[in-house]
Structure 1
Amino acid sequence: MKLGFIGCGNMAGAIMGGIIKNQVFKPEEIIGSDVFVPTREKARDQYGIQITDSNLEVVEKSEVIVLAVKPQFYESVITEIKDKVTEDKIVITIAPGKTLAWLEEKFGKKVKIVRTMPNTPAMVMEGMTAASPNPYLSEEEVKYACHILESFGKVEVIPERLMDAVVSVSGSSPAYVFILIEAMADAAVADGMPRPQAYKFAAQAVMGSAKMVLETGKHPGELKDMVCSPAGTTIEAVRVLERTGFRSSVIEAMKACADIAKRM
């Protein structure tokens, strides 16, 4: 085995799927454990990986270990596995709020750790992941970790101090976008459009708009201005959004999200 997952839930599954689809690892090179039998069996059936009920077995058989459990379980899992994590292994974490300093303290020794924050669009190979390695990884090991993370989307190495901002702008933000799509579709339904069609129009508009930001390199405000004709329909919609606090609501929601992340 080369890659191990402790935790086989939705995010772990998304990562596994991208890794296997892009042939970074073969299914037989991946092993996963999970406290819930149905969860680990689902990972085996869906991705063809090896499974076990032992976190220690995952660590022993893996070069890279992904800690994909909920943040509240990190301490107990680390306590269980720390003696088996040798200096040649790389640990990838995906828990908000668990800093590199906290992680090293819980391991009680020097461990190669890459703190990351992926998001759920990884499930469709469009994830955005931030990565902060600790000083114990070589440049080649950081590249290797990023190569794994790139298999399900984009990745950027950032200073750890920005990680809470990443939680709000990327890790949690798909939820905001889903609410926007749902609201847009509700409005279209109110104007007579069938709901399945409304979801398709709204989702495609969001996806296409995001692609314009990424591919044109233009400022989002400039792109917004391109849609807003004088005395037209769009500028009136923008006026209402500004009047009802749309921009401020998004900012305040993201600040609340980041504040919670800092306290986790």
Structure 2
Amino acid sequence: MKLGFIGCGNMAKAMLGGILKNEICAKEDVIATAKSEASRENARNTYGIQVTADNIEAAKSADVLVLAVKPIFYEEVIHEIKDAVDEKKIIISIAPGKTLAWLEEQFGKKVKLVRCMPNTPALVGEGMTGVCCNEEVSDAEMQDVLKILESCGKAEMLPERLIDVVVSVSGSSPAYVFMFIEAMADAAVADGMPRAQAYRFAAQAVLGSAKMVLETGKHPGELKDMVCSPGGTTIEAVRVLEEKGMRSAVIEAMKACVKKGREM
């Protein structure tokens, strides 16, 4: 399988790292484009892959082509490469807001399309990606795509109507988690802990808590209750978080995220 990337930003690099580490493709079978020579050289030196400034060259040579540019450039890029894309190639979109119907309209013909929403923890092999595809993609082809996406974390199929929800619950949510970690560290610093140490304690607490949810199968509320001793410190902190509207703030932020995603 020959794999191509149009664009070589953070998400493309995260995917490339996982793909090559897990030997999904040989580096000789991967090509990526980037506008700047510095970006192309960085990709060549880091991953040993082919690089080019020519999007059409990448589109022609790839069996599976990942559109890894920003959403605002999608229309321009698709119009540039559409004549180089035939009915055998699989196109993977990672852009929020760009539906399968919109993508097909831009290509102006039936194309094998996969729409997905990854997230930045893919950079450390812990990504979470929601995936859907059109009817042109066979089950066997979809399995190949999932292998690519799972090389840098986890991936799950779901209906396209839920992709915008994926944007809020996993695509954008690392930003919310980073804010939470930063806030906890700020509080620890205010109480005398050195900042670097505060970040380690807060981040490890979040990592361990997430792992408990995934590995125990227990409801998050049950796990929360396990920490809250009667009359103790934790329940007092939970009381204040509820009083300040933490739960509502998160819900409203995520609903705003979904709304914005659907408007893009």
The TM-score with structure 1 as length reference comes to 0.99
Give me the whole-angstrom Cα distance separating, in 1, the residues matched to 2:160 and 2:36: 32
Q: How does 1:39-54 map to 2 (within 5 A)?
A: 39-54=39-54
Aligned to 1:245: 245
Give me the whole-angstrom Cα distance separating, in 1, the residues matched to 2:135 and 2:36: 34
1:208-257 CA distances to partner (integer Å, 9 max, x unpaired)?
A: 00000001000000000000000000000000000001001101110111
Give me the whole-angstrom Cα distance separating, in 1, the residues matched to 2:148 and 2:179: 30
Give me the whole-angstrom Cα distance separating, in 1, the residues matched to 2:207 and 2:37: 36
Q: How does 1:113-262 map to 2 (within 5 A)?
A: 113-262=113-262
1:92-147 CA distances to partner (integer Å, 9 max, x unpaired)?
A: 00000000000000000000010000000000000000111110011101111111
RMSD: 0.8
Give me the whole-angstrom Cα distance separating, in 2, the residues matched to 1:38 and 1:6: 16
Give me the whole-angstrom Cα distance separating, in 1, the residues matched to 2:219 and 2:98: 33
Give me the whole-angstrom Cα distance separating, in 1, the residues matched to 2:13 and 2:102: 26
Gaps of 5+ in 1: none
Counterpart residue type for residue 22 of structure 1: N
How many residue pairs end up in the alignment?
264
The TM-score with structure 2 as length reference comes to 0.99
Give me the whole-angstrom Cα distance separating, in 2, the residues matched to 1:54 and 1:119: 26
Aligned to 1:77: 77
The alpha carbon displacement at 1:39 in A equals 1.9
SS in 1 for 2:150: helix
Gaps of 5+ in 2: none
SS in 1 for 2:151: helix
Counterpart residue type for residue 46 of structure 1: T
Give me the whole-angstrom Cα distance separating, in 2, the residues matched to 1:47 and 1:121: 19
Counterpart residue type for residue 118 of structure 2: P
Give me the whole-angstrom Cα distance separating, in 2, the residues matched to 1:115 and 1:205: 33
The alpha carbon displacement at 1:36 in A equals 2.4
The alpha carbon displacement at 1:154 in A equals 0.2
SS in 2 for 1:256: helix
The alpha carbon displacement at 1:37 in A equals 2.2
